[in-house]
Structure 1
Amino acid sequence: MPDGTPVRYKGAWGGRGSGKSHEMAGDVVEAMIVNPDCSVVCIREIQKSLALSAKKLIEAKIEAFGVSHLFEVLRGEIRRIGGTGLCIFQGMQDHTADSVKSLEGFDIAWVEEAQSLSQRSLDLLRPTIRKEGSQIWFSWNPRRRGDPVEKLLRGATPRDDAIVVRANYTDNPFLPDTLRKEAESDKALNPDGFGHTWLGEYENVSSKVVIPSAWVRSAIGLAERLGLDIDGKTFAALDVAGAEEGGDENAFAVRKGIQILSVETWNGLDTAITTQKAARIAATVGAAETYYDSVGVGEGVTGEWASMGRRNEQPNGITFHPWNGGAGVLNPDERVDKTNPQSPLNKDQYDNLKAQAWFGLRRRFENAHKAAKGLPYDADNLISIPADLPGLVQLEDELSQPQHKASGRGKTMVDKQPDGAKSPNMADAVVMAFFPAKHEVAVQMFLRKKRA
């Protein structure tokens, strides 16, 4: 402030590795050193445990500054020796309009991860921290323009009672080399999410995308560029559409080893005709195993395939397997990353088979992107798309359309039609072809044996 009065608000926003939290933790310690009676509350929207609070960081700053003799570090708080100063840690969701009044006498409120602070919490906090000369500090990685902290401190009209700065890893003179390499890796391999994660840009659709479009483009013509032979088993997959008036399309994908051989679509046709056509294509390309979306309209394929068997019309050597994206994950007790013993189990990471399959395809495209960039990659977990594949533009759009989110149980889900987008039928067929799961059949066999 021009007259020397402390500003009401201090804000630091930006990406990971900027040192925002370290700076503010140091400021907390300095404020309590200068004023032994200074009381600070460190706030998050949800405070699940002290391990997830700023307490450890503040303790580290006390140690680094060599002022341990001035503080008493207790289990749930930090006290200033020689004064009444106190530092506590709170979650705003634990407060009501009455209980939050306990914070009225505090000098400083530091809101960590402020992008998650709700409007209700902000409305409770601002009038509560009311002591003359008190301040509210915010540190955050921007998420959306409409978040409460954004409207408060980064609105169209700058506040004259606030100092707000941007800080990124590029501004941090103490940035560990390990973190710098992580940032550079994301810049090369995950350009769609790099801006939000590392530069503090608003989270956009791309940052939630399961498969970034840049990864899809890297897979185009990959086998030819790497001089790879196309070998391995041939699989096919059918994504079933509604009736001819439904406006949806059937999609049939064929894959041999790492290579997508073809993806064709056709509109209309009832499920009986669709099943017969898919069977003919599978027989022509030699796909002994064909998977189909068995939920909803796909139930018609189950019935027609059985009828074809009774009529002796099933092509020799061709088997149709139902594929249910809503079913449980395969290999539930295996780790998502088999090479990492700290990796979560499949059953703990993914909400259903659909999410597991989409992220399985994501890993293939990530490896394809690494290979295209000349970086180390897993040669057994690649995907390649012919440069002359019919419908390539539509396929690329569909593969990069689905977004990931957390379920109510905290597990990964996939939203294939964000913001009302059309169903990605071609991409769905590719996902099934690259994740040939006989999950539903195995479950049915298990249940039959159990009943017997």
Structure 2
Amino acid sequence: MTSMQTSKPTLNPALRPFWTTRARNKVLYGGRSSSKSWDAAGFAIFLADHYPLRFLCTRQIQNKIEESVYALLKIQINRFGLRHRFRILDNKIINRHTGAEFIFYGLWRHIEEIKSLESVDVLWNEEAHAITEAQWEILEPTIRKEGSECWFIFNPRLVTDYVWRNFVIDPPPNTLVRKINYEENPFLSSTMKDVINAAKTRDPETFEHVYLGVPRTDDDNAVIKLSWVEAAIDAHKKLGFEPSGRKRLGFDVADSGADKCANVYRYGSIVYWADEWKAKEDELMKSCNRTYNAALERGAEIVYDSIGVGAGSGSKFEEINADRKAADPWRSTAVQYTKFNAGEGVHEPDEVYQPGILNKDFFANLKAQTWWLVAERFRNTYNAVKNGEKFDVDQMISIDSDCPLLEKLKYELSTPHRDFDKNGRVMVESKKDLAKRDVPSPNIADAFIMSFAPTDTSVDVWRILGSQ
């Protein structure tokens, strides 16, 4: 008889194939009351009682040991009658006979310490929905022992979450994904069944999210909701409007580290093209040439980020125009360009934004104003596509489904949160604050926003050169 064979029910039989199948990544997700963490703890105790394994148990925030799976493991040890085989210490649990141990870390404060850990057999990520891309870049190579496994246990939160996108929607090789909900939990009490049934009747949408593990599409804190962006894909085809108006190319200039340059091209209300590339600070001319050629090819004007390293872009574009003019005095084309300074004061500050509220009283800066105006276009488009409401074309927005980097663009547009300054005016989450959430700089989204900026294009450079 093994130590798991007791007179009490132990693990969920429905999950036995999941636990006994070897895989580098094991992803177990679903709604509340589905026995996910309970079962993971039970199987971990079984393994620890038979093999000399080292378990690294993590969660995003862990201010004290009781916030980890430590308490759950203790409960399972007692349920299986194994208290005499384990030493339960203040900060770890050790099997007296196999030497297996459980150690506990909070990722947010201790991710750098985890890099130095050795000989981890199982990484158990509890509440794994919160893991960021930057954290995973540290965790994955840390779990390097032959045959080691990474467990992801979580209730889905948002479709934009890193773990959802990269381990459920598009999992890497050798990944086992299993969804489980309360219907498969043989240990669910009748009291909890009544609670769940009441929730289903009271609020079906919340019930699906909480108890059926359906991730939410929209982050309520986001300036632009993902559902709005989704509705705008090919909206010009759905609603039957053609491109008309200005052709603009937004240019986000990389200024540090892992940051990248980006271009987004729009013709009127329709976005057709995006590009992103890595460039060093001393390669500004190279990036400006790339942007210039993209604008020239499309007959577009350029709106460029004038903060930081991008401040010199205007002089580079002027230089390129001058060189082209010198090479061919009869050349009839030159690319127009204008700067975009996100921290600058709002456009038309004394104009009314809402009844009784001026632009300067509602928006903290030009960045906030531009994001809000684009968000309004997206919301209008959503209401036109989903609800049949009517709007002028210049009050809507469409993204062609053939636009490169579309999935990344959708994610970046719906990621920044709204914020407020000390005077109550709206702001958009800064790159510094995004970094605190381990969210990379939304380069393509910034270029997208710039292409719709309410700024006055600079004087026609060709006319200036032509008059010389």
TM-score where L is the length of structure 1: 0.49
TM-score where L is the length of structure 2: 0.47
